[in-house]
Amino acid sequence: MHRTLWANARWVELPSGRVQSGCLYVTGVRVAGTGEEADLLRRFGPPETRRDLEGRLLLPGLTDAHCHLVGFGVEATRAADLSGSASLEEL
């Protein structure tokens, strides 16, 4: 599994919403630990990749789940089977 150390990072802790700072050690696709770099290196060993974020915000797991409502509505009506309806009232 690939190991990455994100140094000098900031991130938002969930569910509290508090901004944390320090280092994140990632193994594969999971955050293995957070804290001081020296402590993380002792716990997990040297990573294959080290990235210095210089205080920038890291957003692990951010998923863009937005939809365009007009397009979503058009697609939903195309999939709706209205063949058995004789009037708007029956819908």
Q: Tens digits of per-residue pLDDT, 13-35? A: 888 889 999 999 999 989 999 99
pLDDT at 60 over 80: no
Better-scored residue on pLDDT, 42 or 80? 42
Whether residue 76 is predicted with pLDDT greater than 90 in this model: the reply is no
Position 62 pLDDT exceeds 70: no
Between 49 and 89, residue with greater pLDDT: 49
Cα–Cα distance between 7 and 87 in angstroms, integer?
A: 63
Cα gap 64→82, rounded to integer Å:
32
Q: Residue 43: pLDDT band by 50, 70, 90 thresholds?
A: very high
